[in-house]
Amino acid sequence: MAADLGNGELIGAIRRCSQCPDLPLGPRPILQWQSDAPILIAGQAPGRLTHAKGIPFDDPSGDRLRNWLGVDKPTFYNPAAFAIVPMAFCYPGTGKSGDLPPPPVCAELWRERLLARMDKLQLTIIVGQYAVAWHFSNTRGTLTERVCRWRETLPESVILPHPSPRNRMWLTRNPWFEKELIPQLQARVRKVLSVVT
């Protein structure tokens, strides 16, 4: 039973997971996790490029996300600083309007077990509509409306739009995001990471 596994064994079980053998590129669980990480990035699912590389957010979306957070790659990929636990750990495939939604099986099998062990978590960064729906299932509104309520959730959590280059128009229409929210987010990240050794 996965609940009885130690942290290393649990991660090993996740990396060997083959619950979805019909995925278009096959199973390849991708995440970054340590139980004592103070910051959690809750994204959607790996894209095709991430599947190929095996590294989360090692693409233009990741560059923008790191810029929003005010951190460099070594800090971002330090599992003692950041846990990266998306809604699905494998690439789900492509539909008519982009990548398919994350299959729910990862959340059902693994996510709650991982998050329950994060006893030093101080900040949860929720990226994209599927992660928002899971973490804030009791709230309503469009993604933009939920991002606008960032003052209600910081310092514990913040909702971000997906940092994909395809979201340029959203950023243009919502200049307050980078002018008001991002400086506060960066300050919070700096404060949390100031105690990470």
For 40, phi then psi, to 5°, come to: -110, 130
How far is the first Cα of the chain from the last one, in angstroms, to the nearest whole number? 33
For residue 175, count other CB atoms closer than 10 A to its CB.
9
Top-confidence range, 2-11, 77-86, 94-103, 166-175 = 77-86
Q: What is the pLDDT of residue 166?
A: 84
pTM of the model: 0.93
- Where do the structural domains in the chain lie, given as residue ranges? 32-85+117-193
For residue 72, count other CB atoms closer than 10 A to its CB.
9
pLDDT in tens, 36-67: 999 999 999 988 888 889 999 999 999 999 99
CATH number for the 32-85+117-193 domain, one of 3.40.718.10, 3.30.43.10, 3.40.50.10680, 3.40.470.10?
A: 3.40.470.10
pLDDT in tens, 64-74: 999 999 999 99
